[in-house]
Amino acid sequence: MRRRQLLTATAIGAAGIAGCSSDSGGDGTETSTGTPAGTPSGSTNESGDGDLATPEATVRRFYDTLYGNDDIEGANELYHPESQAPPIREANFSDFGAVSAISAAIESTAVISQSDSEAEVHADVAYASPAGSAVQTDWFTLAPSDGEWLVLSWVPESVRNQGTRTPTASN
């Protein structure tokens, strides 16, 4: 099933993001929110962190946690309890030295679909690493849990562009 393949590819995508081409590969059907990179999306709680009340706020928190704070465990905590995706691990970033060697800035996000039980969000992200830089459109599927939207799957464009090949993890 395609969804299971995408869930499996989620963690693998962490390693593949920086070595991609600069072609965004968008299909032109997305509607950007127009929120510039670095602009908070959603409200803030008492600790100053963006909340997880909307799918887009969760996507922004995910990138800020993983690439802004280099916090792999914190990013894993943003996965939904029912997610079948393997956790992100430090080994996923070994080709680049570490997660700290990669930067990611969200250029825009688009809610492609949303219901009470699931949402799909696409994020145009400018990546930079020792392997190069590129703007990619990453796909997220999210679901609510205890009043917060959490990540079911994260599929970077570099993983989707691998076609029918079976990706292999560098464990």
The model's pLDDT over 48-67, given as tens digits with 9 standing for 90+, comes to 345 899 999 999 999 999 99
Contact assessment for residue 50 and residue 69, using Cβ atoms and an 8 Å cutoff: no
Please give the average per-residue pLDDT across 120-137, as a whole number. 94
- The residues spanned by each domain of the chain are 2-160
Task: Render pLDDT for 107-124 as a digit per residue (tens, 0 to 9).
Answer: 999 999 999 999 999 999
Threshold 0.85, pTM exceeds: no
The architecture that CATH gives domain 2-160 is Roll (3.10)
Alpha helices in 50-156 (DSSP H): 55-63, 72-76
| More reliable by pLDDT, 10 or 58 | 58
Structure tokens, 170: 């560098």
